[in-house]
A and B are shown apart, each in its own frame.
Chain A
Amino acid sequence: MHRFYVLPTLLINVVIILAPALLTIALAFFRWDGIGMPVFIGLDNFKALWADRVFWTALANNILWTLMFLTVPIGIGLLAATLLLVARRGSMFFQVVYFLPMIIATAILARIWQGMIYSPVSGVNGLLQRMGFPTLDPLTQPSTALVGIATVDLWHWWGFLCVIFFAALRQVPQEQIEAARIEGASFWQLMRYVLLPGIRSTITLMMIMTVIWSFLVFDFVYILTQGGPAFSSEVLSTLAYRSAFYDLAVGKAAAVAVIISIFGLIATAFYIREQSREFEQ
Protein backbone atom coordinates (compact mmCIF):
# COMPACT_ATOMS: atom_id res chain seq x y z
CA MET A 1 0.00 0.00 0.00
CA HIS A 2 1.61 3.20 -1.17
CA ARG A 3 -0.03 5.33 1.49
CA PHE A 4 2.34 3.74 4.01
CA TYR A 5 5.14 5.65 2.26
CA VAL A 6 4.47 8.50 4.69
CA LEU A 7 5.26 6.27 7.67
CA PRO A 8 9.06 6.87 7.92
CA THR A 9 8.62 10.66 7.99
CA LEU A 10 5.70 10.44 10.37
CA LEU A 11 7.40 7.96 12.70
CA ILE A 12 10.59 10.03 12.99
CA ASN A 13 8.51 13.16 13.51
CA VAL A 14 6.41 11.61 16.29
CA VAL A 15 9.38 10.06 18.13
CA ILE A 16 11.64 13.13 17.95
CA ILE A 17 9.17 16.03 18.06
CA LEU A 18 5.59 15.19 19.03
CA ALA A 19 6.15 12.77 21.93
CA PRO A 20 8.93 14.85 23.57
CA ALA A 21 6.84 18.01 23.03
CA LEU A 22 3.91 16.45 24.89
CA LEU A 23 6.33 15.36 27.64
CA THR A 24 7.64 18.93 27.85
CA ILE A 25 4.12 20.24 28.36
CA ALA A 26 3.65 17.70 31.16
CA LEU A 27 7.06 18.49 32.68
CA ALA A 28 6.08 22.16 32.98
CA PHE A 29 3.97 21.08 35.96
CA PHE A 30 6.75 19.10 37.65
CA ARG A 31 10.00 19.80 39.44
CA TRP A 32 12.74 17.71 37.85
CA ASP A 33 16.54 17.78 37.83
CA GLY A 34 16.82 15.50 34.81
CA ILE A 35 17.97 12.50 36.84
CA GLY A 36 15.68 11.66 39.78
CA MET A 37 11.91 11.24 39.92
CA PRO A 38 9.86 14.27 38.76
CA VAL A 39 7.72 15.78 41.53
CA PHE A 40 4.30 17.20 40.64
CA ILE A 41 4.07 20.83 41.76
CA GLY A 42 1.08 22.15 39.82
CA LEU A 43 1.48 25.71 38.59
CA ASP A 44 4.52 26.49 40.78
CA ASN A 45 6.90 26.73 37.81
CA PHE A 46 4.68 29.33 36.18
CA LYS A 47 4.23 31.20 39.47
CA ALA A 48 8.00 31.27 39.94
CA LEU A 49 8.44 32.66 36.43
CA TRP A 50 5.79 35.31 37.12
CA ALA A 51 7.89 36.52 40.05
CA ASP A 52 11.19 36.21 38.18
CA ARG A 53 12.64 39.50 36.86
CA VAL A 54 14.86 37.67 34.36
CA PHE A 55 11.81 36.02 32.80
CA TRP A 56 10.15 39.40 32.22
CA THR A 57 13.37 40.83 30.80
CA ALA A 58 13.59 37.85 28.42
CA LEU A 59 9.97 38.22 27.35
CA ALA A 60 10.37 41.97 26.81
CA ASN A 61 13.54 41.29 24.80
CA ASN A 62 11.70 38.83 22.57
CA ILE A 63 8.96 41.38 21.95
CA LEU A 64 11.51 44.12 21.26
CA TRP A 65 13.34 41.70 18.93
CA THR A 66 10.08 40.99 17.08
CA LEU A 67 9.40 44.71 16.61
CA MET A 68 12.93 45.32 15.32
CA PHE A 69 12.69 42.46 12.85
CA LEU A 70 9.20 43.40 11.67
CA THR A 71 10.48 46.81 10.63
CA VAL A 72 14.20 47.12 9.84
CA PRO A 73 15.02 44.06 7.68
CA ILE A 74 11.63 44.04 5.97
CA GLY A 75 12.09 47.74 5.16
CA ILE A 76 15.64 47.30 3.85
CA GLY A 77 14.65 44.13 2.01
CA LEU A 78 11.74 45.88 0.27
CA LEU A 79 13.86 48.91 -0.60
CA ALA A 80 16.66 46.79 -2.05
CA ALA A 81 14.21 44.57 -3.93
CA THR A 82 12.55 47.54 -5.63
CA LEU A 83 15.93 49.05 -6.45
CA LEU A 84 16.93 45.74 -8.04
CA LEU A 85 13.81 46.08 -10.16
CA VAL A 86 14.86 49.54 -11.29
CA ALA A 87 18.48 48.56 -11.93
CA ARG A 88 18.84 47.31 -15.45
CA ARG A 89 21.97 45.26 -15.12
CA GLY A 90 23.56 43.25 -12.36
CA SER A 91 20.44 42.47 -10.33
CA MET A 92 21.34 38.77 -10.23
CA PHE A 93 24.84 39.57 -9.02
CA PHE A 94 23.66 41.91 -6.24
CA GLN A 95 21.08 39.37 -5.20
CA VAL A 96 23.65 36.58 -4.84
CA VAL A 97 25.97 38.76 -2.74
CA TYR A 98 23.13 39.94 -0.47
CA PHE A 99 22.20 36.31 0.09
CA LEU A 100 25.75 35.22 0.92
CA PRO A 101 25.66 35.71 4.73
CA MET A 102 22.68 33.31 4.90
CA ILE A 103 24.83 30.34 3.94
CA ILE A 104 27.53 30.98 6.57
CA ALA A 105 27.14 29.33 9.97
CA THR A 106 25.71 31.58 12.69
CA ALA A 107 28.54 30.56 15.04
CA ILE A 108 31.09 31.89 12.56
CA LEU A 109 29.22 35.13 11.76
CA ALA A 110 28.85 35.78 15.48
CA ARG A 111 32.60 35.36 16.08
CA ILE A 112 33.54 37.60 13.12
CA TRP A 113 31.41 40.43 14.49
CA GLN A 114 32.54 39.81 18.05
CA GLY A 115 36.28 39.71 17.34
CA MET A 116 36.71 41.78 14.20
CA ILE A 117 34.14 44.54 14.70
CA TYR A 118 32.85 44.90 18.27
CA SER A 119 35.96 43.96 20.23
CA PRO A 120 37.82 46.91 21.84
CA VAL A 121 41.02 44.85 21.53
CA SER A 122 41.08 43.18 18.14
CA GLY A 123 38.14 44.77 16.32
CA VAL A 124 37.35 47.88 14.29
CA ASN A 125 35.83 49.25 17.49
CA GLY A 126 39.25 49.20 19.20
CA LEU A 127 40.78 50.97 16.22
CA LEU A 128 38.16 53.73 16.48
CA GLN A 129 38.83 54.06 20.22
CA ARG A 130 42.57 54.44 19.65
CA MET A 131 41.80 57.13 17.08
CA GLY A 132 39.93 58.99 19.82
CA PHE A 133 36.30 58.11 19.11
CA PRO A 134 34.32 57.41 22.30
CA THR A 135 32.83 54.13 20.99
CA LEU A 136 31.94 51.25 23.30
CA ASP A 137 31.63 47.51 22.78
CA PRO A 138 27.82 47.23 22.60
CA LEU A 139 27.93 43.60 23.82
CA THR A 140 29.37 44.60 27.21
CA GLN A 141 26.79 47.30 28.00
CA PRO A 142 23.44 46.19 29.50
CA SER A 143 21.62 48.96 27.62
CA THR A 144 22.97 48.05 24.17
CA ALA A 145 23.75 44.31 24.31
CA LEU A 146 20.46 43.21 22.70
CA VAL A 147 20.70 45.78 19.90
CA GLY A 148 24.32 44.73 19.36
CA ILE A 149 23.24 41.11 18.88
CA ALA A 150 20.23 42.09 16.76
CA THR A 151 22.51 44.09 14.44
CA VAL A 152 24.45 40.94 13.57
CA ASP A 153 21.24 38.99 12.94
CA LEU A 154 19.72 41.86 10.90
CA TRP A 155 22.87 42.14 8.82
CA HIS A 156 22.79 38.46 7.91
CA TRP A 157 19.01 38.30 7.47
CA TRP A 158 17.78 41.19 5.32
CA GLY A 159 19.34 39.81 2.10
CA PHE A 160 17.17 36.70 2.38
CA LEU A 161 14.06 38.89 2.53
CA CYS A 162 15.35 40.98 -0.37
CA VAL A 163 15.65 37.88 -2.55
CA ILE A 164 12.14 36.73 -1.65
CA PHE A 165 10.60 40.17 -2.25
CA PHE A 166 12.49 40.57 -5.52
CA ALA A 167 11.17 37.22 -6.75
CA ALA A 168 7.63 38.27 -5.80
CA LEU A 169 7.96 41.70 -7.44
CA ARG A 170 8.92 40.09 -10.72
CA GLN A 171 5.60 38.21 -10.64
CA VAL A 172 3.53 41.42 -10.59
CA PRO A 173 1.72 41.51 -13.98
CA GLN A 174 3.46 43.71 -16.51
CA GLU A 175 0.13 45.16 -17.76
CA GLN A 176 -0.65 46.67 -14.34
CA ILE A 177 2.69 48.43 -14.26
CA GLU A 178 2.38 49.69 -17.82
CA ALA A 179 -1.14 50.95 -17.19
CA ALA A 180 0.05 52.90 -14.17
CA ARG A 181 2.96 54.30 -16.17
CA ILE A 182 0.71 55.44 -19.00
CA GLU A 183 -1.48 57.25 -16.51
CA GLY A 184 1.63 59.12 -15.37
CA ALA A 185 2.22 57.50 -11.98
CA SER A 186 5.48 58.50 -10.30
CA PHE A 187 7.82 55.82 -8.99
CA TRP A 188 6.50 56.20 -5.42
CA GLN A 189 2.90 56.07 -6.60
CA LEU A 190 3.75 52.94 -8.54
CA MET A 191 5.22 51.43 -5.37
CA ARG A 192 2.30 52.50 -3.21
CA TYR A 193 -0.57 51.48 -5.50
CA VAL A 194 0.76 48.70 -7.74
CA LEU A 195 3.91 46.96 -6.52
CA LEU A 196 3.32 46.75 -2.76
CA PRO A 197 -0.32 45.60 -3.13
CA GLY A 198 0.92 43.12 -5.73
CA ILE A 199 3.20 41.37 -3.25
CA ARG A 200 1.02 41.89 -0.19
CA SER A 201 0.58 38.17 0.50
CA THR A 202 4.36 37.59 0.42
CA ILE A 203 4.92 40.46 2.85
CA THR A 204 2.21 39.14 5.17
CA LEU A 205 3.72 35.65 5.14
CA MET A 206 7.19 37.00 5.87
CA MET A 207 5.83 39.08 8.76
CA ILE A 208 4.17 36.03 10.27
CA MET A 209 7.39 34.03 9.88
CA THR A 210 9.30 36.92 11.46
CA VAL A 211 7.10 36.74 14.55
CA ILE A 212 7.59 32.96 14.79
CA TRP A 213 11.36 33.15 14.27
CA SER A 214 11.75 36.07 16.68
CA PHE A 215 10.53 33.89 19.53
CA LEU A 216 12.90 31.09 18.50
CA VAL A 217 16.07 33.21 18.32
CA PHE A 218 18.89 31.40 20.11
CA ASP A 219 22.25 31.03 18.35
CA PHE A 220 23.40 34.65 18.14
CA VAL A 221 22.37 35.46 21.73
CA TYR A 222 23.90 32.30 23.16
CA ILE A 223 27.19 32.75 21.31
CA LEU A 224 27.63 36.52 21.65
CA THR A 225 26.57 37.23 25.24
CA GLN A 226 24.97 34.09 26.73
CA GLY A 227 22.15 36.45 27.74
CA GLY A 228 24.44 38.86 29.60
CA PRO A 229 25.68 41.21 30.87
CA ALA A 230 23.50 40.80 33.97
CA PHE A 231 20.77 39.01 31.95
CA SER A 232 20.18 42.22 29.94
CA SER A 233 20.10 40.37 26.58
CA GLU A 234 18.41 37.20 27.83
CA VAL A 235 15.66 35.85 25.57
CA LEU A 236 13.19 33.08 26.36
CA SER A 237 15.05 30.38 24.45
CA THR A 238 18.40 31.05 26.17
CA LEU A 239 16.62 31.26 29.52
CA ALA A 240 15.07 27.83 28.90
CA TYR A 241 18.36 26.33 27.74
CA ARG A 242 20.31 27.65 30.72
CA SER A 243 17.63 26.53 33.18
CA ALA A 244 17.67 22.98 31.82
CA PHE A 245 21.36 22.36 31.29
CA TYR A 246 23.13 24.70 33.73
CA ASP A 247 20.68 24.92 36.66
CA LEU A 248 19.14 21.48 36.04
CA ALA A 249 15.71 23.04 36.56
CA VAL A 250 14.08 21.08 33.74
CA GLY A 251 10.53 21.81 34.92
CA LYS A 252 11.17 25.56 34.80
CA ALA A 253 12.80 25.20 31.38
CA ALA A 254 9.75 23.25 30.17
CA ALA A 255 7.45 26.01 31.45
CA VAL A 256 9.44 28.62 29.50
CA ALA A 257 9.33 26.40 26.38
CA VAL A 258 5.55 26.13 26.72
CA ILE A 259 5.28 29.93 26.92
CA ILE A 260 7.47 30.36 23.80
CA SER A 261 5.22 27.85 22.04
CA ILE A 262 2.06 29.74 22.94
CA PHE A 263 3.40 32.83 21.15
CA GLY A 264 4.54 30.62 18.29
CA LEU A 265 1.17 28.87 18.14
CA ILE A 266 -0.75 32.11 17.68
CA ALA A 267 1.52 33.10 14.80
CA THR A 268 1.39 29.54 13.42
CA ALA A 269 -2.40 29.68 13.24
CA PHE A 270 -2.09 32.72 10.98
CA TYR A 271 0.70 31.01 9.05
CA ILE A 272 -1.37 27.90 8.32
CA ARG A 273 -4.39 29.98 7.37
CA GLU A 274 -2.22 31.91 4.94
CA GLN A 275 -0.61 28.72 3.56
CA SER A 276 -3.92 26.88 3.19
CA ARG A 277 -5.00 29.45 0.61
CA GLU A 278 -2.23 28.13 -1.58
CA PHE A 279 -3.31 24.52 -1.10
CA GLU A 280 -6.88 25.35 -2.08
CA GLN A 281 -5.70 26.17 -5.58
Chain B
Amino acid sequence: MRLIESRATLVLTYAVLIILLLITLFPIALLVLNSVKPAAQIIQNPLAWPETLRWDNFTRAWSDARFGQTMLNSAVLSGLTIILVCTTGSLTAYVLARRKIKSWKILTFYLLATTTAPIQLFLFPLYFGFAKLGLINNAVAVSVVYTAVWSPFAVMLLRTYFLAVPKELEEAALIDGATHWQVFTKVFLPIVSPGILTVALIIGLYSWNEFLIATTFLQRADTSTAIVSFFLLSGQYSSDWGEIMAAALIIVLPVIILFVLLQRRFIEGMAGGSVKG
Protein backbone atom coordinates (compact mmCIF):
# COMPACT_ATOMS: atom_id res chain seq x y z
CA MET B 1 0.00 0.00 0.00
CA ARG B 2 1.28 3.47 -0.78
CA LEU B 3 0.14 6.94 0.17
CA ILE B 4 1.09 9.84 -2.03
CA GLU B 5 2.09 12.83 0.05
CA SER B 6 3.52 16.25 -0.61
CA ARG B 7 7.27 16.89 -0.42
CA ALA B 8 6.96 18.76 2.90
CA THR B 9 5.10 15.85 4.48
CA LEU B 10 7.75 13.46 3.25
CA VAL B 11 10.58 15.54 4.70
CA LEU B 12 8.81 15.73 8.04
CA THR B 13 8.12 12.00 7.94
CA TYR B 14 11.75 11.10 7.39
CA ALA B 15 12.86 13.61 10.02
CA VAL B 16 10.72 11.91 12.67
CA LEU B 17 11.74 8.42 11.52
CA ILE B 18 15.42 9.38 11.71
CA ILE B 19 15.03 10.91 15.19
CA LEU B 20 13.42 7.67 16.37
CA LEU B 21 16.27 5.76 14.71
CA LEU B 22 18.87 7.79 16.60
CA ILE B 23 17.04 7.33 19.90
CA THR B 24 17.02 3.57 19.29
CA LEU B 25 20.67 3.38 18.33
CA PHE B 26 22.12 5.80 20.91
CA PRO B 27 22.45 3.35 23.86
CA ILE B 28 23.67 0.61 21.51
CA ALA B 29 26.29 2.97 20.09
CA LEU B 30 27.41 3.75 23.66
CA LEU B 31 27.80 0.01 24.25
CA VAL B 32 30.06 -0.45 21.22
CA LEU B 33 32.01 2.80 21.70
CA ASN B 34 32.83 2.28 25.36
CA SER B 35 33.70 -1.40 25.05
CA VAL B 36 37.11 -0.38 23.68
CA LYS B 37 37.81 2.51 26.09
CA PRO B 38 39.75 2.48 29.37
CA ALA B 39 37.55 3.02 32.46
CA ALA B 40 39.21 6.37 33.23
CA GLN B 41 38.30 7.77 29.84
CA ILE B 42 34.68 6.62 30.15
CA ILE B 43 34.40 8.52 33.43
CA GLN B 44 35.77 11.63 31.72
CA ASN B 45 33.38 11.47 28.80
CA PRO B 46 31.31 8.44 27.73
CA LEU B 47 30.54 10.13 24.39
CA ALA B 48 34.15 10.80 23.35
CA TRP B 49 35.87 8.85 20.60
CA PRO B 50 38.36 6.35 22.08
CA GLU B 51 41.87 7.82 22.34
CA THR B 52 43.45 4.40 22.56
CA LEU B 53 41.78 1.14 21.66
CA ARG B 54 41.79 -1.09 24.72
CA TRP B 55 41.31 -4.55 23.25
CA ASP B 56 42.35 -6.06 26.56
CA ASN B 57 38.87 -5.07 27.86
CA PHE B 58 37.67 -8.10 25.93
CA THR B 59 40.29 -10.52 27.23
CA ARG B 60 39.73 -9.36 30.82
CA ALA B 61 35.95 -9.60 30.38
CA TRP B 62 36.35 -13.09 28.93
CA SER B 63 38.32 -14.35 31.93
CA ASP B 64 36.47 -12.37 34.67
CA ALA B 65 33.03 -13.48 33.47
CA ARG B 66 34.47 -16.99 32.86
CA PHE B 67 32.93 -16.91 29.39
CA GLY B 68 34.94 -19.99 28.38
CA GLN B 69 32.69 -21.94 30.74
CA THR B 70 29.51 -19.86 30.89
CA MET B 71 29.11 -19.30 27.13
CA LEU B 72 29.40 -23.06 26.71
CA ASN B 73 26.74 -23.52 29.42
CA SER B 74 24.46 -21.06 27.61
CA ALA B 75 25.01 -22.80 24.29
CA VAL B 76 24.25 -26.25 25.76
CA LEU B 77 21.15 -24.93 27.55
CA SER B 78 19.89 -23.20 24.40
CA GLY B 79 20.55 -26.30 22.30
CA LEU B 80 18.71 -28.60 24.71
CA THR B 81 15.76 -26.20 24.87
CA ILE B 82 15.57 -25.88 21.08
CA ILE B 83 15.52 -29.67 20.65
CA LEU B 84 12.87 -30.17 23.34
CA VAL B 85 10.60 -27.34 22.16
CA CYS B 86 10.83 -28.25 18.47
CA THR B 87 10.13 -31.97 18.93
CA THR B 88 7.30 -31.70 21.47
CA GLY B 89 5.92 -28.54 19.87
CA SER B 90 5.69 -29.88 16.33
CA LEU B 91 4.01 -33.10 17.53
CA THR B 92 1.37 -31.07 19.35
CA ALA B 93 0.92 -28.59 16.50
CA TYR B 94 0.32 -31.51 14.11
CA VAL B 95 -2.62 -32.72 16.17
CA LEU B 96 -4.04 -29.26 16.95
CA ALA B 97 -3.91 -28.11 13.33
CA ARG B 98 -5.82 -31.10 11.98
CA ARG B 99 -8.53 -32.08 14.45
CA LYS B 100 -11.57 -29.88 14.77
CA ILE B 101 -12.76 -31.49 17.96
CA LYS B 102 -14.01 -29.55 20.96
CA SER B 103 -11.44 -31.02 23.36
CA TRP B 104 -8.56 -29.84 21.15
CA LYS B 105 -9.96 -26.32 21.32
CA ILE B 106 -9.95 -26.51 25.10
CA LEU B 107 -6.33 -27.67 25.00
CA THR B 108 -5.45 -24.75 22.71
CA PHE B 109 -7.02 -22.25 25.10
CA TYR B 110 -5.36 -23.90 28.09
CA LEU B 111 -1.96 -23.46 26.40
CA LEU B 112 -2.80 -19.84 25.54
CA ALA B 113 -3.76 -19.21 29.16
CA THR B 114 -0.46 -20.58 30.50
CA THR B 115 1.48 -18.13 28.32
CA THR B 116 -0.05 -15.33 30.35
CA ALA B 117 0.59 -16.87 33.78
CA PRO B 118 3.19 -15.03 35.88
CA ILE B 119 6.38 -17.03 36.45
CA GLN B 120 6.00 -16.33 40.17
CA LEU B 121 2.80 -18.37 40.16
CA PHE B 122 4.78 -21.59 39.71
CA LEU B 123 8.36 -20.57 40.52
CA PHE B 124 8.40 -21.06 44.30
CA PRO B 125 7.06 -24.64 44.64
CA LEU B 126 9.11 -25.55 41.57
CA TYR B 127 12.29 -24.18 43.11
CA PHE B 128 11.86 -25.87 46.47
CA GLY B 129 10.74 -29.08 44.74
CA PHE B 130 13.79 -29.07 42.46
CA ALA B 131 16.00 -28.34 45.48
CA LYS B 132 14.61 -31.42 47.23
CA LEU B 133 15.21 -33.55 44.12
CA GLY B 134 18.75 -32.19 43.63
CA LEU B 135 17.82 -30.54 40.32
CA ILE B 136 19.22 -27.08 41.08
CA ASN B 137 22.25 -26.31 38.87
CA ASN B 138 21.02 -28.89 36.36
CA ALA B 139 20.90 -27.65 32.76
CA VAL B 140 18.48 -30.39 31.62
CA ALA B 141 16.00 -29.46 34.36
CA VAL B 142 16.17 -25.78 33.38
CA SER B 143 15.67 -26.62 29.71
CA VAL B 144 12.50 -28.50 30.68
CA VAL B 145 11.28 -25.39 32.55
CA TYR B 146 12.03 -23.27 29.47
CA THR B 147 10.18 -25.78 27.31
CA ALA B 148 7.10 -25.53 29.51
CA VAL B 149 7.19 -21.73 29.42
CA TRP B 150 7.78 -21.29 25.68
CA SER B 151 6.17 -24.30 24.03
CA PRO B 152 2.67 -22.75 23.97
CA PHE B 153 4.16 -19.92 21.89
CA ALA B 154 5.95 -22.47 19.68
CA VAL B 155 2.81 -24.58 19.24
CA MET B 156 0.71 -21.56 18.21
CA LEU B 157 3.33 -20.46 15.68
CA LEU B 158 3.87 -23.97 14.29
CA ARG B 159 0.13 -24.53 14.09
CA THR B 160 -0.15 -21.84 11.40
CA TYR B 161 2.52 -23.64 9.34
CA PHE B 162 0.79 -27.02 9.77
CA LEU B 163 -2.54 -25.44 8.80
CA ALA B 164 -1.03 -24.31 5.50
CA VAL B 165 -0.29 -27.91 4.42
CA PRO B 166 -2.97 -29.06 1.92
CA LYS B 167 -5.40 -31.57 3.42
CA GLU B 168 -5.30 -33.67 0.22
CA LEU B 169 -1.63 -34.54 0.78
CA GLU B 170 -2.39 -36.04 4.16
CA GLU B 171 -5.52 -37.86 2.97
CA ALA B 172 -3.75 -39.31 -0.04
CA ALA B 173 -0.93 -40.64 2.14
CA LEU B 174 -3.40 -42.15 4.61
CA ILE B 175 -5.36 -43.86 1.82
CA ASP B 176 -2.10 -45.31 0.52
CA GLY B 177 -1.74 -46.98 3.89
CA ALA B 178 0.71 -44.67 5.59
CA THR B 179 0.55 -44.47 9.39
CA HIS B 180 0.08 -41.13 11.15
CA TRP B 181 3.71 -41.29 12.21
CA GLN B 182 4.76 -41.62 8.58
CA VAL B 183 2.44 -38.81 7.54
CA PHE B 184 3.92 -36.62 10.28
CA THR B 185 7.58 -37.37 9.52
CA LYS B 186 7.49 -37.86 5.73
CA VAL B 187 4.74 -35.49 4.59
CA PHE B 188 4.49 -32.71 7.16
CA LEU B 189 7.98 -32.21 8.58
CA PRO B 190 9.65 -31.45 5.21
CA ILE B 191 6.93 -28.90 4.38
CA VAL B 192 6.85 -27.16 7.76
CA SER B 193 10.64 -27.16 8.25
CA PRO B 194 10.90 -23.38 7.64
CA GLY B 195 8.48 -22.91 10.54
CA ILE B 196 10.52 -25.21 12.75
CA LEU B 197 13.67 -23.27 11.86
CA THR B 198 11.98 -20.00 12.83
CA VAL B 199 10.86 -21.48 16.14
CA ALA B 200 14.37 -22.85 16.78
CA LEU B 201 15.86 -19.38 16.19
CA ILE B 202 13.45 -17.59 18.49
CA ILE B 203 13.65 -20.21 21.25
CA GLY B 204 17.45 -20.13 20.98
CA LEU B 205 17.37 -16.34 21.35
CA TYR B 206 15.01 -16.48 24.33
CA SER B 207 17.06 -19.08 26.19
CA TRP B 208 20.34 -17.29 25.42
CA ASN B 209 18.90 -14.06 26.88
CA GLU B 210 16.73 -15.41 29.72
CA PHE B 211 17.48 -14.00 33.17
CA LEU B 212 14.93 -14.75 35.92
CA ILE B 213 14.83 -18.55 35.68
CA ALA B 214 18.55 -18.89 34.96
CA THR B 215 19.54 -16.74 37.92
CA THR B 216 17.21 -18.70 40.20
CA PHE B 217 18.03 -22.26 39.14
CA LEU B 218 21.68 -22.06 38.01
CA GLN B 219 23.51 -20.56 40.95
CA ARG B 220 26.82 -22.41 41.06
CA ALA B 221 29.66 -20.67 39.20
CA ASP B 222 30.35 -23.66 36.96
CA THR B 223 26.71 -24.04 35.86
CA SER B 224 25.65 -20.40 35.41
CA THR B 225 24.84 -18.94 31.99
CA ALA B 226 26.67 -16.10 30.25
CA ILE B 227 23.88 -13.64 31.09
CA VAL B 228 23.95 -14.50 34.80
CA SER B 229 27.72 -14.22 35.00
CA PHE B 230 27.52 -10.88 33.14
CA PHE B 231 24.93 -9.75 35.72
CA LEU B 232 27.25 -10.71 38.58
CA LEU B 233 30.31 -9.12 36.93
CA SER B 234 28.47 -5.84 36.31
CA GLY B 235 27.00 -5.74 39.81
CA GLN B 236 30.34 -5.48 41.57
CA TYR B 237 31.14 -2.20 43.31
CA SER B 238 34.51 -1.50 41.75
CA SER B 239 33.05 -1.26 38.28
CA ASP B 240 35.25 -1.06 35.22
CA TRP B 241 32.63 -0.02 32.67
CA GLY B 242 34.96 -0.62 29.74
CA GLU B 243 35.24 -4.24 30.75
CA ILE B 244 31.48 -4.53 31.45
CA MET B 245 30.58 -3.14 28.02
CA ALA B 246 33.11 -5.50 26.42
CA ALA B 247 31.47 -8.44 28.22
CA ALA B 248 28.04 -7.24 27.04
CA LEU B 249 29.27 -6.99 23.47
CA ILE B 250 30.66 -10.53 23.56
CA ILE B 251 27.19 -11.85 24.49
CA VAL B 252 25.29 -9.59 22.08
CA LEU B 253 27.50 -9.85 19.00
CA PRO B 254 26.52 -13.40 17.88
CA VAL B 255 22.85 -12.46 18.37
CA ILE B 256 23.14 -9.29 16.29
CA ILE B 257 24.99 -11.10 13.48
CA LEU B 258 22.25 -13.75 13.32
CA PHE B 259 19.60 -11.03 13.44
CA VAL B 260 21.14 -9.09 10.56
CA LEU B 261 21.38 -12.26 8.46
CA LEU B 262 17.91 -13.59 9.30
CA GLN B 263 15.93 -10.46 10.27
CA ARG B 264 12.77 -11.51 8.46
CA ARG B 265 12.57 -14.81 10.34
CA PHE B 266 13.18 -13.14 13.71
CA ILE B 267 10.61 -10.42 13.15
CA GLU B 268 7.94 -12.69 11.71
CA GLY B 269 8.47 -15.25 14.45
CA MET B 270 8.47 -12.85 17.38
CA ALA B 271 5.79 -10.49 16.12
CA GLY B 272 3.65 -13.13 14.40
CA GLY B 273 3.74 -15.59 17.30
CA SER B 274 2.33 -13.12 19.78
CA VAL B 275 -0.30 -11.59 17.53
CA LYS B 276 -1.70 -14.32 15.36
CA GLY B 277 -1.85 -16.80 18.25
Q: Chain A: interface secondary structure?
A: helix
Q: Point out the residues of chain A lying under 8 angstroms from B2, CB to CB.
A: 88
Q: Which residue of chain B has its CB nearest to the CB of A274? A: B277
How far is B118's CA from A219's CA once the two chains are assembled, in angstroms? 13
How far is B27's CA from A104's CA once the two chains are assembled, in angstroms? 12
How far is B96's CA from A3's CA once the two chains are assembled, in angstroms? 9
> CB < 8 Å: which of A103, A109, A117, A122 contacts B42?
A122
Q: Which residue of chain A has its CB nearest to the CB of B270? A: A102
Instruction: Determine whether B138 belongs to the interface, using a CB cutoff of 8 Å to chain A.
Output: no
Against A, the Cβ 8 Å flags (1 = close, 0 = not) of B1-12 are: 111010001100
Minimum CB–CB distance for B115 against chain A, Å? 9
**Contact indicator A88/B10 (Cβ below 8 Å):** yes
**Contact indicator A202/B119 (Cβ below 8 Å):** no
Q: Point out the residues of chain B lying under 8 angstroms from A88, CB to CB.
A: 2, 10
Find residues 1-33 in chain A having any chain B CB closer than 8 Å to their own CB. 2-3, 5-6, 8-10, 12-13, 15-21, 23-24, 27
Instruction: Determine whether B72 belongs to the interface, using a CB cutoff of 8 Å to chain A.
Output: no
Segment at the B interface, from A53-61, A63-71, A138-146, A260-268: A260-268
Find residues 103-161 in chain B having any chain A CB closer than 8 Å to their own CB. 105, 107-109, 111-114, 116-129, 144-145, 147-149, 151-152, 155
**Contact indicator A97/B24 (Cβ below 8 Å):** yes
How far is B114's CA from A19's CA once the two chains are assembled, in angstroms? 12
**Contact indicator A6/B91 (Cβ below 8 Å):** yes
**With contacts A9-B151, A205-B275, A279-B108 known, is A105 near B251, CB below 8 A?**
yes
**Contact indicator A6/B124 (Cβ below 8 Å):** no
Instruction: Determine whether A39 belongs to the interface, using a CB cutoff of 8 Å to chain B.
Output: no
Number of residues on chain A facing chain B (CB within 8 A): 104
Instruction: Determine whether A85 belongs to the interface, using a CB cutoff of 8 Å to chain B.
Output: yes
Minimum CB–CB distance for B41 against chain A, Å? 10
Instruction: Determine whether A172 belongs to the interface, using a CB cutoff of 8 Å to chain B.
Output: yes
Find residues 207-235 in chain A having any chain B CB closer than 8 Å to their own CB. 209, 212, 215-216, 218-219, 222-223
How far is B163's CA from A1's CA once the two chains are assembled, in angstroms? 20
**Contact indicator B252/A3 (Cβ below 8 Å):** no
Q: Point out the residues of chain B lying under 8 angstroms from A258, CB to CB.
A: 121
Q: Point out the residues of chain A lying under 8 angstroms from B28, CB to CB.
A: 100-101, 104, 112
Find residues 47-101 in chain A having any chain B CB closer than 8 Å to their own CB. 76, 79-80, 83-88, 90, 94-101
Chain B residues proximal to chain A, CB less than 8 Å: 1-3, 5, 9-10, 13-14, 16-17, 20-21, 23-25, 27-28, 30-31, 34, 39, 42-43, 45-47, 84, 87-89, 91-92, 94-96, 99, 105, 107-109, 111-114, 116-129, 144-145, 147-149, 151-152, 155, 180-181, 184, 205, 208-209, 211-212, 216, 227, 230-231, 234, 239, 241, 244-245, 248, 251-252, 255-256, 259, 263, 266-267, 270-271, 274-277
